[in-house]
Structure 1
Amino acid sequence: MGISRGVELVNGSSVFEDLPDASYVARGYYRGKLVLEAEVERLGGELRLVAAVARLSARVVDQFNNPVEGALVSVEDTQAVSGGDGYAVLGHLPLGEYEAQVEYRGVKAGTVRLNLTGGEAVKITIQLHTLRVEAVDEIGRPLEVSASLYSMGRLIASGSGSAIEFPKLPSGNYQLTLRRGPKEVNKPIALAGDRVETVTFPILLELGGVALSSQEAMLILLPLVAVMLLVIAGLMVREFIRWLRERE
């Protein structure tokens, strides 16, 4: 007659009561995976079995081997955030192969295949870069602006000035938005390494605190220039008529 019983482990142990002395097959599951299977013979006393699980921890570093704090490491349904030393502890998992997803500052920073065979820490290296944004007007003069950097519609970082640095950015696609008053410039950024991005703002001059592009300045100045030319032409005609009268 076969006997089938399931008991959940509490603090690593379980009790099967009222089992007759006989041969059995013991199977253990952890997180839905088979972690032990053994033929055992019940002859009284305590029986110890070792499950194929291990504690998984990951150390996240950048390309210069500096620890990265605040990286989110995900393995299946388990997540952990790296601390100041770069370590993220994900707890115990069955031995085997896994895919670790790493996010940093809300941006996917990489995917790593790992083989969990023991309790050792897995080293995960991610590439981080610096984006420097320099804002200039239409004739190349530095311009004070506010800058916002987005990834997938999510704000990653912001700053202000004529030269703004965004450090520790994972490789990926970003959207850069620059603002000065009511004017705004949007620019896509494909970041794969340290980069200096010069952005020309549509501003030629400012009149009374109002920033004007070259086109806007022309629309305002051309009528003024036309009026001035008409006034000058009128004065010249009047002087010419007076000169003619003096000659008579």
Structure 2
Amino acid sequence: MRQDPATYPGYRFPAEIISHAVWLYHVFSLSLRDVELILAERGITVTHESIRSWCRKFGSEFAAKLRRRRPKPGDTWHLDEVFLRINGVLHYLWRAVDQHGVVLDILVQDRRNGNAAKRFFKRLLAGLKYKPRRLVTDRLKSYGVAQREFLPEAQHRSCRYLNNRAENSHRPTRRRERQMQRFKSAGQAQRFLSAHSMIYGHSRPRRHLMTAGKYRHARNKAFRIWRQEMCAQAAS
């Protein structure tokens, strides 16, 4: 007996199609119309507005599930902030990665003072049972304010030349910012980038750090986890 495909309540398309559309949009530098065209070539007729609603609803949910499945981060965290211009107003994207380049969390704020750094540290450490041994930041003094309050035991290295891992992790964000012709609001940027950082990072094992065999194994594991979480979402 053939089993019916899993579906999400209230949606007429199978869960496999919806999750694949969300995966395409976040993993590759594609517009919503590009994803619509790719699905149309496979015989799936869906509008780009429907894909937008899928990404908005399910992107954050998928990202939350992947966040719970990720392994324990390394003990050295690199923190950095980069500017985003949203509707002509300067905002800052705060980002933390471990020494392996795995994104731990992001936060869009309109300041980069001590209070903004504290908000980012509070969000970053929420629910974690472990803390880093060392923090690496640029020379922004706001990091020191937050580090002394939230992570006083951690060693803090402040040097512009030691923070390439965090700075390099901003590149996918810049590509998507150009593709989307800038973000329309701080809320939209936060929603999209929170999901994007997890889905993109999960689906892109760090190829240059692995042999071909290990890379294929890591890639297949990422695919398997993605399918498992998609099915779990559909069944809930």
TM-score normalised by L of structure 1: 0.19
The structure with the greater share of residues assigned to strand is 1
TM-score normalised by L of structure 2: 0.20
